[in-house]
Amino acid sequence: MRFADIPGNDDVKRALSGMADSGRVAHAMLFYENEGCGALPLVLAFFQYLNCQDRRDGDSCGECPSCRQISKLIYPDMYFVFPVNSGTRVSSSEKPVSDTYLKYWRELVLADPYFLESELYSELGIEGKAGNIAVAEAKSVLEKLSLSPVGSGYRAVVIWLPEKMNAEAANRLLKIVEEPPEKTLFLMVTHAPEKVLQTIFSRCQSFRVLPMDKEEVAQTLQTRFSVSAEQARVYANVSGGSVGAALTMIGDRADYDEYMSIFEKLMQAVRSKDLLTALEAGEDMSALKSREKQKGFCAFAEDCIRKVYMIRHGMASVSNATEDEIQLLSGLAAGSRDVFCDRVAGYLDSAAAQIDRNVNAKIVFCDLVNRIFMTY
Ligand SMILES: [Zn+2]
């Protein structure tokens, strides 16, 4: 991956290449992005640039041996840490660490480095479970770093989602993150910096990876993922600047339809004051196959509510809503009270957070539906 392969975020690229050129490289860095906005590709491009034997115009050559190895994710001095759990693809007696799943990780990153957290879990066969970074992982990292690097260049531990690290694992890593061996870097990508343990966070230099603009998303969808120009334009519009989100919507049209039908059912019931049907919609939410999907529904519904708000305030054209959505949501926008959008967005947020904390989905969604029903 070269910087040139990643559109946008020129300031971050400049800061990174400048750091590499000056030789003053921070040993722990945290890249904060909204899911699917390209922080992992930037990390890979940066590491490739650092180790490139023939840097040109602020970018790696893409052709030297280390460029080739890094772009294939087989560079011997680059380790990956990501949240895992036990699942169908490993034997149940094994305590899984990232290396257990390395093959699947590589396949996923090479095919689409903009993947979302839920896509990683389905790739690893741990759908329906939350991944985490446990102490066994910390031990494995320490073990690797106790050995000498294979090459003479930089070595990196890439940690994808350090917010999934528990306190015990973080404590084990603290010292080495603070004072790593020479030319050893910790490169972390987070979607929730506020959830990264403070002890780790405070040792990192942070970078904000911004969402791409619509043209950049559309361009990436077309050139890298062979999406048609028309589809690229439509989904770039509703992607929130995330290539990963756009790809998921394109790939998961089935999810979208499923979410939309539940949302529609709920809102029609709310508008016609039909509590029974509204509660049925709540049942449908808790019947969604995995917790990732249940959270996915909450995010989807919140996005719809945001669009309702925009439509209510005469901003339909900048709401990122498709024509079909505008038609559908306009009725809801016209009949709702002023406080509706604001409050419901909050309810959806807290429902997603409760699902994340393993609260019983039936209880969460029954309560959510009640609140939405009362607020309309
Ligand atoms: Zn090179």
- Which candidate, 80, 79, 84, 93, places its Cα nearest to that of 125? 84
Q: Which of 4-18, 93-107, 317-331 has the lowest mean pLDDT?
A: 317-331
Give the pLDDT confidence of 206-246 residue by residue, as tens digits: 999 999 999 999 999 999 998 878 778 767 877 889 999 88
Rounded distance between C-alpha atoms, residue 52 and residue 238, angstroms = 37
Give the pLDDT confidence of 115-168 residue by residue, as tens digits: 999 899 989 998 778 899 999 999 999 999 999 999 999 999 999 999 999 999
Tell me, in angstroms, the distance from the centre of ligand 1 to residue 2's CA: 9
Does the structure show a pLDDT above 80 at 93?
no
Which pLDDT band holds residue 79 (cuts at 50, 70, 90)? very high
Q: Looking at residues 165-176, what average pLDDT do you find?
A: 95
Does the structure show a pLDDT above 90 at 95?
no
Burial, 109: exposed, middle or buried (Cβ in 10 Å; 0-12, 13-18, 19+)? buried
Does the structure show a pLDDT above 80 at 36?
yes
Tell me, in angstroms, the distance from the centre of ligand 1 to residue 178's CA: 29
* pLDDT for the residue 252: 64
Rounded distance between C-alpha atoms, residue 222 and residue 145, angstroms = 40
Tell me, in angstroms, the distance from the centre of ligand 1 to residue 65's CA: 7
Give the pLDDT confidence of 256-294 residue by residue, as tens digits: 888 999 999 999 999 999 999 999 999 999 999 877 788
Does the structure show a pLDDT above 70 at 33?
yes
Rounded distance between C-alpha atoms, residue 4 and residue 58, angstroms = 10
| Mean residue pLDDT across the chain | 91
* pLDDT for the residue 272: 93
| CATH architecture designation of domain 3-210 | 3-Layer(aba) Sandwich (3.40)
Tell me, in angstroms, the distance from the centre of ligand 1 to residue 154's CA: 13
* pLDDT for the residue 70: 98
Q: What stretch of H or E contains 310?
A: helix 291-312
With a pLDDT cut of 90, the percent of the chain lying above it is: 70
Tell me, in angstroms, the distance from the centre of ligand 1 to residue 85's CA: 35
Could you identify the residue written with the tokens 């919507």? 249
Does the structure show a pLDDT above 70 at 254?
no
H helices of 238-290, in order, are: 243-251, 253-271, 275-286
- DSSP category for residue 59: B
Tell me, in angstroms, the distance from the centre of ligand 1 to residue 10's CA: 20
Does the structure show a pLDDT above 80 at 195?
yes
Residue range 252-375 forms a domain whose CATH class is: mainly alpha
Tell me, in angstroms, the distance from the centre of ligand 1 to residue 23's CA: 17
Tell me, in angstroms, the distance from the centre of ligand 1 to residue 59's CA: 9
Does the structure show a pLDDT above 80 at 45?
yes
Does the structure show a pLDDT above 80 at 91?
no
Q: What stretch of H or E contains 328?
A: helix 323-335
With a pLDDT cut of 70, the percent of the chain lying above it is: 98
Tell me, in angstroms, the distance from the centre of ligand 1 to residue 94's CA: 38
* pLDDT for the residue 2: 96
Domain borders along the chain are 3-210, 252-375
Tell me, in angstroms, the distance from the centre of ligand 1 to residue 61's CA: 4
